[in-house]
Amino acid sequence: MFDMDLQLFDDPAGESGGGTSGTGTASDSTGNAAEGVQGKQIVYLFRAFEDRATATGAVVAFTTENEHSISADGDSTATKDGALQKPGVVTVEITGTAIVLKGDDTLGEKLREACLKNKLVECWEADLSNPRSEGKYAGTYYQGYLTEWTKTSNAEDYAEYSYTFSANGTGAPDGGVGVTVSAEQQAIASYVFADTTATGA
């Protein structure tokens, strides 16, 4: 999709002692350094299951927001000692919003097609602040379906699309192996959209 050789982090392993670039550090009550993870370091890659033999997972370019939710709606029974909860089935949903890109072969359009045709989709969540090895990061693998795809536009802003990915089951953690995220994919994931107008700096 893009031909570039950019480094998202200067010190991905955190060997300099200052922590991974893009994280905030603070000391907790025990004196140990606690690091916060920036939102752009949690990335999601998608691929239609039918394309797994010929295509790699792709990062959604110009993402502005993601959300990962876990829910378990349950029933409650009134007892003399108070309500007794019966947990329901756990469901996992991943949502995102991104800028609409021109073209019929963009990932946004592929997600739209997957939603229209009920295609099985693969999804990887990767934490770029937690490297496992060279080019691999802590993450979780999911299979599921796009249950919602929405495009919004107005006269002043760029058009955006939002999607909802509903997972089958609860996903498979990487088990220490790591999710592969290439340098090119990291560069795409680090995009924060900006216009061409002067910023006043």
Model's pTM, two decimal places?
0.74
Residue 30's pLDDT band (cuts 50, 70, 90): low
Ramachandran region, residue 103 (left: φ > 0; alpha: ψ -120 to 50; beta: rest): left
Q: State yes or no: pLDDT of 11 exceeds 70.
A: no
Length of the chain: 201
Residue 138's pLDDT band (cuts 50, 70, 90): very high
Q: State yes or no: pLDDT of 3 exceeds 50.
A: no
54-108 pLDDT per residue, tens: 999 999 889 999 999 999 887 888 888 888 888 788 999 999 999 998 887 899 9
Phi, psi of 184 (to 5 degrees): -65, -45
Percent of the chain with pLDDT strictly greater than 90: 53
Quick one: average pLDDT of 160-177?
95
pLDDT of residue 35: 79
Rounded to whole angstroms, the Cα distance separating 59 from 62 reads: 9
Contacts of 90 (CB under 8 A, 6+ apart): 70, 71, 72, 170
Q: Which two tokens stand for residue 45?
A: 């890659």
